[in-house]
Amino acid sequence: MSVFIDDDILMQVEKPARYTGNEWNMVKKDPKSKEISIRFAFCFPDIYEIGMSHLGMRILYHLINERNDTYCERVFAPWTDMEEIMRQKGIPLFALETKDPISDFDFIGFTLQYEMSYTNVLNMLDLAGIPIRSKDRTEQHPFVCAGGPCACNPEPLADIIDFFVIGEAEEVINEILDVYKRWKTGESDGITRENTGVKEENESIDDETNTTVKNGQTKGKSRESFLRMIAKIEGVYVPSFYEVKYNDDGTIKSIQPKSNEFPAKIRKKIIKDLDQAYYPEKMIVPYINIVHDRIILEIFRGCTRGCRFCQAGFIYRPVREKKPEKLVHLAEKLQQSTGYEEISLASLSTSDYTGLKELTEDLINNMSEKRVSLSLPSLRVDSFSLSLMEKAQSVRKSGLTFAPEAGTQRLRDVINKGVTEEDLLESVRIAFEGGWSTVKLYFMIGLPTETLDDIAGISELGEKVVSAYMATPKEKRGKGLNVTISTSCFVPKPFTPFQWESQDSIETLREKQKYLKGLIKSKYIRYNWHDPEISFLEAVFARGDRRTGEVLIRAWEKGCKFDSWGDSFDFSKWMEAFKECQVDPHFYANRKRNYDEVFPWEHIDIGVTKKFLQRENEKAYRGELTDNCRVKCNYCGATVFGGGVCYE
């Protein structure tokens, strides 16, 4: 039975179309039909406008719905106004397509894009009426799974999520659903056998699991039997089958499977050949404006650059491109099926796409008569890209973004950002001569080895950009120079060369921000900075272990949710939660690790080796650069996947 949302309710909330669905290209199926045996709720732990912009969700939604036996529906976090009414009236969390409560579904799948969405995961489960902790769920509940970049350190959510998909889900998800179907239909004979096996194992495995088994009777057992079946699929991680032991100093001693039937290391799954991989020819066209309200064309995965702070640069390796002709064909199809007026190329670094010239020429030729513009994010600014942008009609010479990341050459070398000051100033000069006059400069503060000289370098670079504008002939340059310097706070992430590093304390970060603010004198420069408190929490949960999961639950119980939305962020509640759970956040955020420390994510294998990351860490301290993969192989370990740039 679907839930009934009264008009009255929708009239009271902001943007009611967040909850009404029925958008163009929404997949409609009859869940009561005999064909549909699996119902999948794809959950994005943030509001509609953010979730609908996410490419992974767009791909997986249509991919899962290609199956005749499965209906995949979308679920987003209701904004606080809607949540309040839902809780008041006892309306459970429902899926947009059918408005059915998701507690009756077979799977609840979350995508984890940023750590600060974790409380929303808990809140959505609770709103759906599903127990927060994995061990409290019985056969009547759906399986709760998660994937996405944050799943590369799944441990903070280990007690909450039943299983994780590590890496790219396009193939794994189908394997899981196939197994599920077998498990669900083979209940009469196959499962009995499984059950006996499980029961014996249970006694030796885990006391906690045993309790659940007793409570849920036979049901609890069969739930585990399914997890047991999928734990053998490459890329699937079932945290309850692994045991973590700790040292006296609080660091991890070991992470081991509870039975040798499970792999000691869980290797991420990748799609070897993106041209052969599924990509939807339809995309949902929302009624309301979303963040990325356009066709998204994924041109490649991974990045060859290896900036040492950047997690995406390592976890998506190896780089795999799609062929331009394939992309042009897809663009055509997507344009016809959506009617969108804009196409955006998606990748970690558009300029590094080897077929960029061919692709953009073809796209511009095909799309201009249809009045479809092309937007080119993450493009390095040079004369080629500027003329491209003018042709693509995607920018009103208003803003260009540069990301030098650090203020001095020394520090840029430490982080392996292969950009020199001269590169940057040359790009800026070309942009000013081309009529641009608004420039954004992105930096990080708190990077390893940073000194106040590096901070001063940020301000000096800003001044040099202003001088470059002044040196541009008046008749060429645009009016009204506007330089924005933005600094974020560095967050050390797993699977990067900086995974051993400590984060600057909140106080230090604040002092550095203040110092920089004092140095910026030019009236043309505006300075924006991020709150270090949020970055501090990100640092805790990015490298958190299972013990931090209790803190998440406690913080959520105290009312924390939508933490990435400034107005609902309450740092004091978080600090209370740490205190009450007797977890020291500084242990995770502000502690420098030894090279031989066992990480909470030690059992996750993303291909890139710990040895390589250590070499990169050592090189960082020597200020040595590492070449782009296309120039030379640096033996990071990603060759194990047998595809991509490693074999070109």
Which helix (H) or strand (E) covers residue 488, if one does?
Answer: strand 482-489
The nearer residue to other proteins, 21 or 302, going by C-beta atoms, is 21
Query: Using CB under 8 A, which of the segments 13-21, 112-120, 193-201, 472-480 binds other proteins?
Result: 13-21
By the rule CB under 8 A, 90 interacts with other proteins: no
Distance from C-alpha of 598 to C-alpha of 255, rounded to nearest angstrom: 9
The nearer residue to other proteins, 372 or 525, going by C-beta atoms, is 372
Q: How many residues bind other proteins (CB under 8 A)?
A: 25
Distance from C-alpha of 563 to C-alpha of 542, rounded to nearest angstrom: 15
Distance from C-alpha of 192 to C-alpha of 474, rounded to nearest angstrom: 82
The nearer residue to other proteins, 336 or 365, going by C-beta atoms, is 336
Cβ proximity of 462 and 520 under 8 Å: yes
**Among residues 2, 17, 200, 630, which is the contact residue for other proteins, using CB under 8 A?**
17
By the rule CB under 8 A, 3 interacts with other proteins: no
The nearer residue to other proteins, 16 or 418, going by C-beta atoms, is 16
Cα dihedral 229, 233, 236, 242 sign: positive
Interaction residues for other proteins, span 382-401 (CB under 8 A) = 393, 396
Which helix (H) or strand (E) covers residue 128, if one does?
Answer: helix 118-128
Nearest distance, CB of residue 295 and other proteins, angstroms: 11
Nearest distance, CB of residue 403 and other proteins, angstroms: 25
The nearer residue to other proteins, 16 or 31, going by C-beta atoms, is 16
Interaction residues for other proteins, span 322-341 (CB under 8 A) = 335-341
Nearest distance, CB of residue 535 and other proteins, angstroms: 35
The burial of 333, by beta-carbon neighbours within 10 Å (0-12 exposed, 13-18 middle, 19 or more buried), is given as middle
Nearest distance, CB of residue 166 and other proteins, angstroms: 37
By the rule CB under 8 A, 287 interacts with other proteins: yes
The nearer residue to other proteins, 179 or 288, going by C-beta atoms, is 288
Which helix (H) or strand (E) covers residue 53, if one does?
Answer: none
Helix (H, G, I), strand (E, B) or coil at 343: strand
**Among residues 285, 403, 425, 581, which is the contact residue for other proteins, using CB under 8 A?**
285
Nearest distance, CB of residue 566 and other proteins, angstroms: 25
The nearer residue to other proteins, 287 or 621, going by C-beta atoms, is 287
Which helix (H) or strand (E) covers residue 38, if one does?
Answer: strand 38-44
Helix (H, G, I), strand (E, B) or coil at 300: strand
Nearest distance, CB of residue 436 and other proteins, angstroms: 14
The nearer residue to other proteins, 91 or 444, going by C-beta atoms, is 91
Cβ proximity of 490 and 307 under 8 Å: no
- Which of 453, 437, 447 is closest to 492 using CA atoms? 447
The nearer residue to other proteins, 2 or 336, going by C-beta atoms, is 336
Distance from C-alpha of 236 to C-alpha of 147, rounded to nearest angstrom: 10
Strand partners, 472: none
DSSP per residue over 397-457, as a string?
Answer: S--EEEEEESSSHHHHHHTT----HHHHHHHHHHHHHTT--EEEEEEEES-TT--HHHHHH
Nearest distance, CB of residue 33 and other proteins, angstroms: 19
Which residue is associated with the tokens 């992470």?
Answer: 255
Distance from C-alpha of 232 to C-alpha of 536, rounded to nearest angstrom: 36
Nearest distance, CB of residue 127 and other proteins, angstroms: 21
Query: Using CB under 8 A, which of the segments 4-12, 63-71, 256-264, 303-311 binds other proteins?
Result: 4-12
Nearest distance, CB of residue 92 and other proteins, angstroms: 19
Nearest distance, CB of residue 82 and other proteins, angstroms: 12
The nearer residue to other proteins, 16 or 197, going by C-beta atoms, is 16
Q: What is the DSSP letter of 568?
A: G
Query: Using CB under 8 A, which of the segments 19-27, 48-56, 123-131, 144-152 binds other proteins?
Result: 19-27
The nearer residue to other proteins, 337 or 449, going by C-beta atoms, is 337
The nearer residue to other proteins, 338 or 427, going by C-beta atoms, is 338
Taking the CA atoms of residue 100, residue 106, residue 111 and residue 115 in that order, the dihedral angle to the nearest 10 degrees is 90
Cβ proximity of 219 and 140 under 8 Å: yes
Nearest distance, CB of residue 280 and other proteins, angstroms: 16
Strands 163-165 and 236-237: antiparallel
Distance from C-alpha of 137 to C-alpha of 156, rounded to nearest angstrom: 18
Query: Using CB under 8 A, which of the segments 211-219, 285-293, 577-585, 622-630 binds other proteins?
Result: 285-293
**Among residues 3, 16, 37, 488, which is the contact residue for other proteins, using CB under 8 A?**
16
Q: What is the DSSP letter of 629?
A: T
The nearer residue to other proteins, 282 or 510, going by C-beta atoms, is 282
Which helix (H) or strand (E) covers residue 90, if one does?
Answer: none
Cβ proximity of 459 and 519 under 8 Å: yes
What x-and-dash track marks residues 350-389 binding other proteins by CB under 8 A? --------------------xx------------------
Which residue is associated with the tokens 């769920």?
Answer: 137
Cβ proximity of 311 and 613 under 8 Å: no
Strand partners, 402: 441
Nearest distance, CB of residue 380 and other proteins, angstroms: 23
* Residue count (the chain): 648
The nearer residue to other proteins, 117 or 373, going by C-beta atoms, is 373
By the rule CB under 8 A, 1 interacts with other proteins: no
Structure tokens at 380: 């390095």
- Which of 6, 629, 50 is closest to 318 using CA atoms? 629
What x-and-dash track marks residues 562-601 binding other proteins by CB under 8 A? ----------------------------------------
Interaction residues for other proteins, span 21-60 (CB under 8 A) = 22-24
Nearest distance, CB of residue 463 and other proteins, angstroms: 31
Residues binding other proteins (CB under 8 A): 4, 7, 10-11, 16-17, 20, 22-24, 285, 287-289, 335-341, 370-371, 393, 396
